[in-house]
A and B are shown apart, each in its own frame.
Chain A
Amino acid sequence: MSIVVNNLTKKFGSQRAVDNISFEVKTGEILGFLGPNGAGKTTTMKILTCYTAPSDGDATINDLSILESQDEIKRKIGYLPENNPLYYEMPVLEYLKFVADLQGVQKDKIQSRIDEMVHVCGLNIEKHKKIGELSKGFRQRVGLAQAMIHDPEILILDEPTTGLDPNQIVEIRKLIKELGKHKTVILSTHILPEVEATCDRILIINKGKIVADGTSDMLRKRARGEEMVRIQIREFKNKDDVVTSLKELDSVSIVDFVNDDPDSFLVTSKENYSSKKNIFNLCVQKNWVLTEMTPIETKLEDIFRELTTN
């Protein structure tokens, strides 16, 4: 199930919530939709799930257009909206049956699907309670269960882990990763480690426009072209000698001290060069003991901030 979005625009009055965005999601891919609040993530998801029509542009899901084949598309999508709205007065099992019925699950398969969802989402101990009596974490699980009850090929999850405790977050992430092996998943979030932990690809959107698209490694590379390593050297005689020798290496551009550790240095390489091997060889040659060499990665937070603030 591939999703192709073409020049999608949604206007609210004069404001463009989604501004001419295009992207593709391949089958079996987990796409993380990242962006500050009000960037247009939820609006895009609402358009893809056929809840609201775009002002302009189109999106196709397995060659079915969201403008024409809404019924077929809705059957193929499982959607967990933002804030997870549910009928609080309904018991969990009854609610799941209602959704299965609506989504056209065959009568003889409904019970087995419900059992499976209860198992997969860990709802067994709470399944007879009314949804309103459940804790937030369990409600979120009910939300996921209702999204998956008809075994959809595409899952669209709007902030699936908000309000969960750390253990539950880990569980839900594991579940999403597991599901992503067979299904196409789009999930939105503004929790950055979440995207890194679960998604194959990241799409950063700001003010309705896509500002970055790629794996987290690609985004990092894009944000900072040069390699940076932190090294710790022991048994050297003169600190200045170390700095000069390091600087003399062909691949090195900058050498910095580290404030809290006199034995450590930050070495930045020239663009498209790696200095790790050279540093190692230099230490061997000079009889220095190299006790640490850690590549310093740009944090996704920095990339995010850089891309979404003017």
Chain B
Amino acid sequence: MHAIWVIAKRELSSFFDSLVSYIFIVVFLGIGGFFTWLFGSDIFLIGQATLQPFFSIAYFTLFFFIPALTMRMLAEEKRSGTIELLLTKAVSDWQVILGKFISCLILIGVALVLTIPYYITVWALGPIDHGAVWCGYLGMILMSMAYISIGLFASSITNNQIVSFLLALFIGVFFLIIFDVLSSNFTGTLGQILNFLSMSTHFDSISRGVIDSRDLIYFLSITSVGLMLAQTSLSKRNIVE
């Protein structure tokens, strides 16, 4: 546990020492705020005290931003060779993966905490469904976990950051749109399976304020499969031919 935290701390300080974290937070809050308050189907247009507009825009911004945060995490270490230095210290492959996962999750957590003023403001404007808001935040975190693990996997199989970024987007877009679109074209079991695989099905139900074990299992399974694949790809060097 100690090693995981040491690695997470280093990743976090590298986020905050560079401009990455600041750009991420400012753009995330900017886009979120713009569409929540000023433009499109913002809350004044809807005329309801709800954070739904924010969640639906964050649903897309995180899809783009998380691969940008995770793309360098393993790819850069592999390119520069620092991964060798890291893995010959008293840490396991799992600890490295989890440390990086946690650091990224914390950064997104920080960005989400900074949106609390939106919540308080909307609350001041009218009666708000507190349950739905907290569930929406929970959904954001679960969704981020899934995207981070996908991003880490993409980063683990290449040493090129751009490839890693595009690959993470490519995998992510299946969960974001493609399964959803396909599910409406198929009926029966296949349709149901595709519908279950689509992220929006699960995110929508959580952000409405319904916590269903199926949704939790969905997000946690994507996360664990992504992390396991990342770990496998990292420990590929040990494969005995």
Q: Mark A68-108, 1 if CB is under 8 A from B, else 0.
A: 00110011010101110111011000100011011110000
Q: How far is the CA of A276 from the CA of B13 in the complex (A)?
A: 69
What band does the interface of chain A fall in when counting residues whose beta carbon is under 8 Å from B? 20 to 34
Stretch at the interface among B33-41, B80-88, B124-132: B80-88
Q: How far is the CA of A49 from the CA of B85 in the complex (A)?
A: 10
Total A-B pairs, Cβ < 8 A: 70
Contacts of A56 in B (CB 8 A): 240
Q: Is A81 a contact partner of B85 (Cβ separation < 8 A)?
A: yes
Contacts of A273 in B (CB 8 A): none
Q: Is A87 a contact partner of B14 (Cβ separation < 8 A)?
A: yes
Tell whether A103 pairs with B89 under 8 Å between CB atoms, given A52-B238, A89-B17: yes
Give A101's nearest chain B residue, CB to CB: B6
Contacts of B6 in A (CB 8 A): 98, 101-102
Tell whether A81 pairs with B81 under 8 Å between CB atoms, given A13-B241, A98-B10: yes
For the complex, is B184 an interface residue (Cβ under 8 Å from A)?
no
For the complex, is A236 an interface residue (Cβ under 8 Å from B)?
no
If over half of B's interface residues share one DSSP class (helix, strand or loop), that class is named, otherwise mixed; here it is: helix
Give B235's nearest chain A residue, CB to CB: A53
Q: Mark B199-241, 1 if CB is under 8 A from A, else 0.
A: 0000000000000000000000000000000000000011111
Q: Is A79 a contact partner of B92 (Cβ separation < 8 A)?
A: no
For the complex, is A174 an interface residue (Cβ under 8 Å from B)?
no
Q: Is B80 a contact partner of A77 (Cβ separation < 8 A)?
A: no
Tell whether A86 pairs with B17 under 8 Å between CB atoms, given A51-B237, A102-B3, A102-B7: no
Contacts of B14 in A (CB 8 A): 87, 89-90
What is the CB-to-nearest-CB distance from B13 to chain A, in angstroms, rounded to a whole number? 8
Which residues of B approach A to under 8 Å, CB–CB? 2-3, 6-7, 10, 13-14, 17-18, 80-82, 84-92, 237-241
Given contact pairs A102-B3, A102-B90, enumerate 7 new A-B contacts (beta carbons under 8 Å): A46-B84, A51-B87, A51-B88, A56-B240, A82-B81, A86-B85, A89-B18
Which residues of A approach B to under 8 Å, CB–CB? 11-13, 46, 49-56, 70-71, 74-75, 77, 79, 81-83, 85-87, 89-90, 94, 98-99, 101-104, 146
